[in-house]
Amino acid sequence: MKEILAAWGSVWSSGGTKLLVNLLDIALVSYLIYRLLLLVRGTRAVSLIKGLLVLIVLLWVTQPLPALHWLVRQVTLPGVIALVIIFQPELRMTLERIGRGGLIGHRVAAESEAQIINRVTAAAEALATQRYGALIVLERDTGLEDIARTGRRIDAEVSRELLCSLFFPRSPLHDGAVIIRGSRVLAAACTLPHSDQSSLPASMGMRHRAALGITERTDAVVVVVSEETGQIALAVEGELQRNLKRVTLSERLLDLMEARAERRSTFPWLRWQ
């Protein structure tokens, strides 16, 4: 009996140690993947990851089909190389953040979206009163890092005073768009793509065309203040809502952000985009 118990103890000792090592290995790999996903969140590198996942799934699904599987294998390596070349700036930025200790850094909880919206609408109202033109872009699920790189990095808390000072006509950063991510002003003086719509009236200014352009390409929301009329407009999904008052603008923005929160709760993988 003692010999049997000793044998079982020896087996469990070696097996238990191996199990703990495997669990530790899985935990470390999972944590590293999680931190890397947080690093690329909000950048076009998310598209790179999606592309790689699609290639992996295609390789697995097409195994019973020899000809199609061979074709997918032939395009996989060139496809991966092409994706790496296309998204080289995002990958370089990610490596730089890792070098600065970003991999194990702590994320700061964002302020209430209602508070941010209140500050944005207050700034829009103040700018409209003074007839100072403004373009305020609120990032949602689609990352705007490539747009932010066209301007000047700010990385400051959103406030009415900051937004008004950025769009003051004598400010060196007033000509362009401000990008807001969460509770932070990400960048200012950014260049937005113009709308491709051919039906836009000739009287529509460049700010409104730029606001429509970015919302046609991303899910961002843009608050526009006209320098000529002092009116506030909201651009969403390639459509423009004009002549909005502060209360209406605030309600509309809250509805859009609540819809985003519901979508993320339904599709949890959107949280790291």
List the chain pLDDT tens, one digit each, 273 residues.
Answer: 556 556 555 655 556 667 777 788 888 888 877 766 665 565 556 666 677 778 778 888 888 888 888 887 877 777 667 666 666 665 665 565 555 454 444 333 344 788 899 999 999 999 999 999 999 999 988 888 889 989 999 989 999 999 999 999 988 888 899 999 988 999 999 999 988 787 777 778 889 999 999 998 888 999 999 998 999 999 998 899 999 999 999 999 988 877 655 555 544 444 444
* Pairwise CA distance, residues 229 & 240, whole Å: 16
Q: Which residues of 248-267 are buried (b: 16+ CB within 10 A; e: fewer)?
A: ebbebbeebbeebeeeeeee
- Paired with 222 in beta bridges are 137, 235
Q: What pLDDT was estimated at residue 191?
A: 93
Q: What pLDDT was estimated at residue 160?
A: 94
* Domain ranges for the chain: 2-99, 113-272
C-alpha Rg value of the chain to the nearest Å: 25
Q: What pLDDT was estimated at residue 65?
A: 83
> How many helices and strands, by DSSP H and E, does the chain display?
9, 7
- DSSP line for 45-81: HHHHHHHHHHHHHHHHHTTT-HHHHHHHHHHHHHHHH
Contact 183, 157 (CB under 8 A): yes
Tell me the residue ranges of DSSP E strands in the chain.
Answer: 134-138, 152-157, 177-181, 184-190, 221-225, 232-236, 239-241
Superfamily of domain 113-272 in the CATH hierarchy: DNA integrity scanning protein, DisA, N-terminal domain (3.40.1700.10)
Q: What pLDDT was estimated at residue 66?
A: 84
Q: What pLDDT was estimated at residue 48?
A: 66
* The token pair that represents 67 in the structure block: 């000809």
